[in-house]
Amino acid sequence: MKPVYYLAVDIGASSGRHILASMDNGRMTIEEVYRFDNGMINDNGNKLWDVDSLFANIIEGMKKCKELGKIPVSMSIDTWAVDYVLLDDNDKCIGNVYGYRDERTDGMDEEVYKVISEKELYKRTGIQKQKFNTIYQLMSDKFIRPEQLKEAKTFIMLPDYFQFLLTGVKASEYTNATSTQLVNPETKQWDYELIDMLGINRNMFMELKQPGTILGELTDGIKKIVGYNTRVVMCASHDTASAVMAVPTVADNVLYLSSGTWSLMGTELLKARCDEKSQVCNFTNEGGYDYRFRYLKNIMGLWIIQSVRHEFEDRYTFAELCKEAEETDYITSRIDVNNKCFLAPENMTEAIKSYCNNNDLIIPDTAGEIAAVVYKSLADSYADTVMQIEKNLDITYDAIYVIGGGANAGYLNQLTADSTGKTVVAGPAEATAIGNIMAQMIADSVFKNLKEARACVRDSFDIKRFEQKR
């Protein structure tokens, strides 16, 4: 029998990929068919996404499936969170599509708190404070582009926007929408009262749909370009929500670390925890598949090392950087990876050096020394986060499930096992795309539910274990 293919388009802040998946004897197999670079472009000091080029890449990857003779029965797109497009009454994009590292949200928290206190906002939404959350971005729209905001008829987040371009169907997916900080964790719909309080046009927002919803088929125009038709299904379109679906275990109460541009460390809860302890530690309750909540913390993540690598002119692969770091084990300096100076510095290497200088730490110099400082500091911050989660939830975990690209960083996995004292279970590296596929396969009745799909992921992919050595 010919295999049935499902296509995941997983676009991260630094790269995107098209992954085809199919079932083979009860196991899921995946194949990367297309990959492209991504990054915010700097346009006169504004950090923007080039959505046209992203969409062109989506199409290129879809064409690749045709070339390979592997036409998917369905497809879905996930991306990072919080960013959005404003559409006019002809459904055309209005103005810039800002990237979340843009500085325009500086000071916007204070503007929001004039309307609702920080504490009340957390109680109401359960979403951690990140200066780039959509709520602060929309507040900044009110200041820097009020005309465009007024003109906007539709607010649509990036995966939904791309899927609209493919199908002509406009809709909003729930998991990604929760990252706006405008969704009520009880009703799982927009918090219209909050939106009104902020003075934002509530009519821009579309009813939220759960992952698994079938959106529609390709428009005639797209069918012609790619050479086939397929069904577009909503996955958990926030990449982290898809990644968490692919944690390779059926156990409850699991500690995961979704490791990519960001490190997202947390667990799943059936009810959002919007208490003070969680707020103080800045834990979020983002919406997950099947009405679960992702109780997690954003840690600056591999973005720091990605940036350093670029600054060394991509002379080293990530594996080589790990190796160099391992050989530079003597360096004792540690940085606070979540310090805001690392969010969007002009030069990351310089930011690390000046952090060390300002804190009387030995200043790292070589690529290996810098990488060692970063990796070890990340591992330390994972250990702090584990302690906070265990304390807040009164649970002890035995293992950390590392999923996403960072699962391939053996050196970091070992450091994490050492700093936390937990077993690190690493893989799958393509967790986000796999989660995206899982939602499609569940919608197509390949699996009964999330648990069955997770069991399949556990049995299908190569998973490595790391134990504490020192």
Give the ranges where 48-133 is alpha helix by DSSP (H).
51-68, 108-115, 118-125
Nearest distance, CB of residue 96 and ligand LFR, angstroms: 17
Nearest distance, CB of residue 261 and ligand LFR, angstroms: 5
Q: How many CA atoms lie within 13 Å of 203's alpha carbon, on the beta-carbon side?
A: 7
Q: Which of 12/428 has CB closer to ligand LFR?
A: 12
Q: Which of 160/369 has CB closer to ligand LFR?
A: 160
Compute CA 108 distance to the chain's CA centroid, rounded to the nearest angstrom.
23
Q: Which residues, listed in sequence order, are joined to residue 317 by a DSSP beta bridge?
A: none
Rounded (5°) CA angle 187-193-198:
130
**Residues of this chain that bind ligand LFR (CB under 6 A):** 12-13, 80-82, 100, 238-240, 260-262, 264, 298
Give the integer Cα–Cα distance in Å for 249 and 293.
17
Give the integer Cα–Cα distance in Å for 78 and 101.
19
Give the integer Cα–Cα distance in Å for 313 and 166.
36
Structure tokens at 46: 């504004």
Q: Which of 9/218 has CB closer to ligand LFR?
A: 9
Nearest distance, CB of residue 256 and ligand LFR, angstroms: 12
Q: Which of 38/349 has CB closer to ligand LFR?
A: 38
DSSP 76-96: EEEE-SS-EEEE-TTSPBPS-
Q: Is 239 a catalytic residue?
A: yes
Q: Which of 13/446 has CB closer to ligand LFR?
A: 13
Q: Which of 81/86 has CB closer to ligand LFR?
A: 81
SS3 400: strand
CB–CB of 141/199 below 8 Å?
no
Structure tokens at 229: 């038709």
Residues near 406 by beta carbon (within 8 Å), at least 6 away in sequence: 257, 259, 260, 263, 301, 302, 412
**Which residue among the candidates 83, 102, 191, 239 is catalytic per the annotation?**
239
Give the integer Cα–Cα distance in Å for 399 and 387.
13
Nearest distance, CB of residue 379 and ligand LFR, angstroms: 19
Catalytic residue positions, numbered: 239
